[in-house]
């Protein structure tokens, strides 16, 4: 049996994982073939033209913890592209479970920093307060279920995490856990963390969007290896070990190499390896709106995003990011327009946006945006829907019992 076209390394999947692997293999002198099932590379580093600009419709920032992405950008000679978010903070809605009412108090008040004596609440660093709440469940600060339900769960559900287990604090927020262990109350520990790590400090982005990383990595891999091939629209359908090499079958050909990197979503990798089945993927949808809404940022900044609890009446979205209020490069290029992203789809439920035509989509999304931004929202200049399928994350500390 033919072992197919021979090369040094085959990378399956051209998302950020596969692109980095291909670039590193190319740098080490390998001939590399990078294959992707989709029409173009990038996976979740996806961009789209909207309102005359190219914007992210998948990942839109990266965690600075660990420093890998910043190191990568330095190695790619692109450190000048690093963007820090405008430090307006992230909000959590709706801790009062009150009906969001853009005309009156509603979500706007729920998103304001809480009055003294109440844990967590909205305002700066709410997500970190939320994480802190994990310790409170029977923990030293005694914050209890309300913080877990109102803050941790909205934060977790955004990424389809499950409810975190008691004791998960050390894994989720080691610095906070160390402060609590040193004798601070949870409130004091959160306050200390916010002082040393202001809003916007934990996540950075890339000027032009995270999708700009795709072309950077592809061109760097090409430059590093005389024999770098990127082939899109070519799904890998089979993988076999044969005489010390890997035989990779695609929709178009057979290839063989001593090195194979699978940089695939877990369910695709498991299918290829013939391993047992996984939990069902969940469809989520990201709806990006371009708004001509002078004054939306206005005199009362609302923060850069809102996480929505599952029980908030009258709002279907699970999260909103005001992208042009978050990223200065986008604000500059948008020339007065606003870019807003809403996400839909909670674990185990089809997103409410699925199957809607554009008119129906606008009718659903616009009131959600208005409620969460606390301002009337005009008819969007442009709307774009992007669907993703993701697996629920199962990790120690995030056990599978979910109320979401």
> In this structure, is the dihedral angle defined by the CA atoms of residues 304, 308, 314 and 320, taken in order, positive or negative?
positive
Minimum Å gap between C-beta 314 and ligand FAD is: 24
Give the strands of the sheet with 82-83, arranged side by side: 62-63, 203-206, 82-83
Q: Are 86 and 325 in contact (CB under 8 A)?
A: yes
Rg (CA), the chain: 23
Nearer to ligand FAD, 60 or 368 (CB): 60
Q: Token digits for 247?
A: 């035989």
- Separation between Cα atoms, residue 246 and residue 243, nearest integer Å: 8
**Binding marks (x or -) toward ligand FAD, 228..267, rule CB under 6 A?**
-------xx--------------------------xxx--
Candidate residues 268, 310, 328, 382; the one interacting with ligand FAD per rule CB under 6 A: 268
Range 303-362, binding ligand FAD (CB under 6 A): none
Dihedral angle at the C-alpha atoms of 82, 86, 88, 91, nearest 10 degrees?
Answer: -50
Cα–Cα separations (whole angstroms), residue 14 to 5, 120, 215, 265: 20, 40, 11, 11
Nearer to ligand FAD, 45 or 129 (CB): 45
Listed ranges 13-21, 88-96, 163-171, 305-313: which one lies at the site for ligand FAD (CB under 6 A): 13-21
Is residue 36 a contact point for ligand FAD (CB under 6 A)? yes
For position 297 contacting ligand FAD by CB under 6 A, the verdict is no
Strand partners, 49: 54
Please pick, from the candidates 7, 33, 43, 369, the single residue that binds ligand FAD as defined by CB under 6 A.
Answer: 43
Q: For the range 276-280, what are the long-range contacts, defined as Cβ-Cβ under 8 Å and sequence gap of 24 or more?
A: 278/391, 279/391, 279/392, 279/394
**How many residues touch ligand FAD (CB under 6 A)?**
29
State the minimum distance, in angstroms, from the CB of residue 43 to ligand FAD: 2
**Residue 376, C-beta contacts closer than 8 angstroms, at least 6 positions apart:** 102, 370
Tell me which residue of 343, 296, 295, 292 sits closest to 315, measured CA to CA. 343
Report the residue from 11, 12, 73, 342 that binds ligand FAD according to the rule CB under 6 A: 12
Q: Which is nearer to ligand FAD, 37 or 131 (CB)?
A: 37
- Verify binding: residue 113, ligand FAD, rule CB under 6 A: no
Question: By CB under 6 A, is residue 44 in contact with ligand FAD?
Answer: yes
Q: Which sign, positive or negative, has the C-alpha torsion 205, 206, 212, 217?
A: negative
Among 5, 17, 165, 281, interactor with ligand FAD by CB under 6 A: 17
- Give 96's Cβ-side CA count (13 Å radius): 16
Task: Compute the 3-state secondary structure of the chain and give helix, strand, coil in percent, each to the nearest 5.
Answer: 30, 25, 45
Span of 60-68, 92-100, 218-226, 377-385 interacting with ligand FAD by CB under 6 A: 60-68
Please identify which residue in 62, 246, 344, 398 interacts with ligand FAD, judged by CB under 6 A.
62
Shortest reach from residue 178's CB to ligand FAD, in Å: 24
Q: Report, in Å, the least distance between residue 62 CB and ligand FAD.
A: 5
Per CB under 6 A, 18 contacts ligand FAD: yes
Does 387 engage in binding with ligand FAD (CB under 6 A)? no
User: What is the binding site for ligand FAD (CB under 6 A)?
Assistant: 12-18, 35-38, 43-45, 58-63, 235-236, 263-265, 268, 286, 388, 390
């Amino acid at each position: 049996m033919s072992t197919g076209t021979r090369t040094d390394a085959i990378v399956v999947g051209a998302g950020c994982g596969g692109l980095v692997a291909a670039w590193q293999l190319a740098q080490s002198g390998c001939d590399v073939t990078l294959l992707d099932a989709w029409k173009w590379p990038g996976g979740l580093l996806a961009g789209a033209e909207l309102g005359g600009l190219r914007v992210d419709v998948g990942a839109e920032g990266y965690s600075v913890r660990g420093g890998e992405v910043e190191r990568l950008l330095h190695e790619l000679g692109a450190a000048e592209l690093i963007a820090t978010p405008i430090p307006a903070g992230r909000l959590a809605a709706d801790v009062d479970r009150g009906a969001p009412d853009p005309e009156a108090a509603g979500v706007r008040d729920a998103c304001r920093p809480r009055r003294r004596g109440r844990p967590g609440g909205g305002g700066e660093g709410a997500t970190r307060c939320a994480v802190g709440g994990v310790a409170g469940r029977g923990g030293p600060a005694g914050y209890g279920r309300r913080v877990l339900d109102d803050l941790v769960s909205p934060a977790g559900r955004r990424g389809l995490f499950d409810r975190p287990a008691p004791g998960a604090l050390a894994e989720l927020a080691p610095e906070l856990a160390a402060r609590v262990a040193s004798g601070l109350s949870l409130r004091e520990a959160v306050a200390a963390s916010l002082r040393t790590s202001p809003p916007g400090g934990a996540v950075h982005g890339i000027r032009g969007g995270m999708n700009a990383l795709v072309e950077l990595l592809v061109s760097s891999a090409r430059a590093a290896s005389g024999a770098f091939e990127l082939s899109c629209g070519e799904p890998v359908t089979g993988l076999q070990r044969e005489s010390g090499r890997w035989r990779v079958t695609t929709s178009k050909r057979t290839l063989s190499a001593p090195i194979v990197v699978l940089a695939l979503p877990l369910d695709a990798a498991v299918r290829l390896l013939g391993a047992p089945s996984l939990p069902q993927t969940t469809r989520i949808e990201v709806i990006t709106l371009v708004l001509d809404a002078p004054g939306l940022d206005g005199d009362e900044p609302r923060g850069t995003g809102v996480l929505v609890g599952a029980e908030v009446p009258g709002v279907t979205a699970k999260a909103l990011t005001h992208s042009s209020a978050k990223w200065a490069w986008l604000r500059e290029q948008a020339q007065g327009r606003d870019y807003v992203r809403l996400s839909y789809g909670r674990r185990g439920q089809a997103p409410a946006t699925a199957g809607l035509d554009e008119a129906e989509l606008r009718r659903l999304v616009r009131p959600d945006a208005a409620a969460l931004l606390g301002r009337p929202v005009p008819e969007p200049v442009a709307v774009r829907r992007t669907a993703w399928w993701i697996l629920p994350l199962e990790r120690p500390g995030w056990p599978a019992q979910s109320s979401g």
